[in-house]
Amino acid sequence: MLANYTRSAKALSDLLQREGVEDTQVLSAIANIPRHVFIDDVLQHKAYENTALPIGQGQTISQPYIVARMTELLRLAGVRNKVLEIGTGSGYQTAILAKTFTKIYSVERIKALQWQAKRRLHQLDLYNVSMKHGDGWQGWQSQAPFDGIIVTAAASKVPKDLLAQLADGGVLLAPIGESDQKLIMVIRNGDDYTEHVIAPVRFVPLVPGDIE
Ligand code: SAH
């Protein structure tokens, strides 16, 4: 199975390019990461479609377009090295980040998903990722500061702890809102945080508090 995906992944990458993704590093990551590895057996036939899919535990693997676009936005903002991801989920976005940036830290609140994602990344020989089972609202203080922070679940407001863990000049991307969500970008300059609204989006909620 692993060997046969290359044509489908390349076709997905070409589709995303037609939809407006331009960053060659991101397009190459999409073409080289087997998305079917991150998806349950019964949904394998949809693995290379440009759509979000259920991954169990009431969660979803994000649509490839949004994965690519958010990764591209971080690169356009100058991020290259250290990235924190909140909401590991299937691990697919994590794998794309691992191919695009130097070092990834990823936090997931559901232990079963975190464990499964870890196994998948090792299967793909991606070793520049550290994962933590924890509450994303708190970020990952001991590894801060981060050049980029990407949140893949929607919060009612930007978690304060995440803003504090941005490096000076760092960039945070997060979906904000409940039924009406917007992807926002926050750029840190010293104690100043500048917010830009990027686009309407649809993500599962960033759950407050406890971990499972
Ligand atoms: N990028 C992932 C998206 C998964 S959906 C993918 O494409 O597979 C969002 C994920 O965020 C879910 O796995 C959910 O369990 C996780 N999540 C929700 N609230 C969280 C929180 N407070 N802390 C950490 N992870 C959280």
pLDDT at 175: 98
pLDDT at 209: 78
pLDDT at 2: 55
- The preferred substitution site among 204, 210, 211, 212 for testing ligand 1, maximizing ligand atoms within 8 Å of CB, is 204
pLDDT one-digit tens code per residue, 110-147: 999 999 999 999 999 999 999 999 999 999 999 999 99
DSSP string computed for the chain: -GGGGHHHHHHHHHHHHHTT---HHHHHHHHHS-GGGGS-GGGGGGTTSSS-EEEETTEEEPPHHHHHHHHHHHHHTT--SEEEEE--TTSHHHHHHHHHSSEEEEEES-HHHHHHHHHHHHHTT--SEEEEES-GGG--GGG--EEEEEE-SBBSS--HHHHHTEEEEEEEEEEE-SSSEEEEEEEEETTEEEEEEEEEE---B---S---
Tell the residue nearest (CA) to atom 18 of ligand 1. 206
Asked whether residue 209 is assigned to any structural domain, the reply reads no
pLDDT one-digit tens code per residue, 189-209: 999 999 999 999 999 999 987
Ligand 1: centre distance to CA 89 (Å): 5
Tell the residue nearest (CA) to atom 11 of ligand 1. 87
Ligand 1: centre distance to CA 85 (Å): 9
> Which of these is catalytic: 13, 62, 90, 106?
62
- For residue 6, name the pLDDT band (cuts at 50, 70, 90): very high
Closest CA to 29 of 3, 2, 67, 60: 67
Instruction: Give the chain's domain count.
Output: 1
- Percentage of the chain beyond pLDDT 90 is 94
Residue 74's domain is classified under what CATH number?
A: 3.40.50.150
Asked whether residue 207 is assigned to any structural domain, the reply reads no
Asked whether residue 208 is assigned to any structural domain, the reply reads no
Q: Are 49 and 63 in contact (CB under 8 A)?
A: no
Asked whether residue 164 is assigned to any structural domain, the reply reads yes
Asked whether residue 84 is assigned to any structural domain, the reply reads yes
Asked whether residue 27 is assigned to any structural domain, the reply reads yes
Ligand 1: centre distance to CA 190 (Å): 29
Q: Is 62 a catalytic residue?
A: yes
Asked whether residue 172 is assigned to any structural domain, the reply reads yes
Asked whether residue 142 is assigned to any structural domain, the reply reads yes
- The preferred substitution site among 30, 38, 59, 97 for testing ligand 1, maximizing ligand atoms within 8 Å of CB, is 59
Domain that holds residue 148: 5-201
pLDDT one-digit tens code per residue, 138-187: 999 999 999 999 999 999 999 999 999 999 999 999 999 998 999 999 99
